[in-house]
Amino acid sequence: MGQQSALGGAVHSESVPAAAEPLASRPSCQLHLGQPATRVCERCGAFGCPDCVTATLRPKVSWRCRVCLEPELRQQGVLQARGRRAQRAILLLAFWYAFSGAAGLVELPFAATGVASFLHLAVQVTAVILFCQWFYVAVRVAAVMGWDPRATPAGAVGSWFVPLVNFIWPFSITRRLLMGGDSALVLAWQVTSIHGCVAALINSLLGAAHYNLMRGYSGADEVLPAISAFSITTSVVLLAAVLFGAAVVARTTTKIHRATTPPSDLRIGILQQADGGADGPTTK
């Protein structure tokens, strides 16, 4: 069935295309042209298909496209590498504190005591440097992900070296990195660290008295066992502190990694929840 044109020719209705749907109402993936978009990146607003816009946790469900996730994923590799180094150094320090506690049960020659003190200083400085590098990167990654650690990376590291402030502020930053989770672990780390630092300070002051008593001063037999017992107790508390610290490093690194790239089973649950009308914007 045709219609007559002004020139008398027949124009078939099949040759007239139907009105196309506006492109604005049918968004497509920006990376896969022609692929319908089902998600919107909450950072840049880009449309994307399920392969291009990923569900993340920060701490609630959030959606990020590949472009926005790329700098976070690069920082994730650095964070995990620094975390592994820091854990190894901290565990080495824990082994040293255990060795120090055991060595306190026996009488060591003066020369051996000097060598042990030098090795202790070397292990402790190495562990502190590697831990500070990890802490710096962790705060920086949190800032890139849009979290609010309430401190710059340099300020977070510097807070560990300010007297009295280092008893509170760094642990508060760590709790924010963990998004409020593992509070008991952080509290145990904080309590043992504070007690260990105070005990180590007292133990260093007792070191001079211990040296003088070993030179044969009267009353050494009554005081030396008490000083040795306090030294062993200090080593045990510091051992607990560094073990809790190693656990915090592992938990924080894992938490930040899971926030950017949730495991497949958790991601499936997030997508099912979002498709049911929960968190995460969708296009219609």
Report the first-to-last Cα separation within the chain, whole angstroms: 37
Average pLDDT, the chain: 75
- How many Cβ atoms are within 10 Å of 164's Cβ, its own excluded? 7
Cβ atoms of 195 and 167 closer than 8 Å: no
- Give the pLDDT of residue 15: 39
Over residues 62-89, the pLDDT tens digits come to 777 877 877 777 777 889 899 999 999 9
In sequence order, what are the residues at sequence separation of 6 or more whose Cβ sits closer than 8 angstroms to the Cβ of residue 79?
Answer: 134, 137, 138, 141, 253, 256, 257
Output the pLDDT for position 166: 93
pLDDT for 169-216, tens place per residue? 999 999 999 877 788 999 999 999 999 999 888 877 776 665 555 555
Give dist(CA 63, CA 43) in Å, integer.
8
10 Å CB burial of residue 219 (0-12, 13-18, 19+) is exposed
Q: What is the pTM of this model?
A: 0.69
Can you tell me which residue has the tokens 């007239």?
Answer: 16
- What is the Cα–Cα distance from 213 to 233, expressed in whole angstroms? 20
Burial of 235 (0-12, 13-18, 19+ CB in 10 A): buried
Q: Can you give the residue ranges of every domain in the chain?
A: 79-254
Distance CA 153, CA 143 (A): 9
Alpha carbons 268 and 61: distance in angstroms, whole number: 12
Confidence of residue 137 (pLDDT cuts 50, 70, 90): very high
Other C-beta atoms within 10 Å of 230: how many? 16
Closest CA to 36 of 54, 18, 53, 56: 53
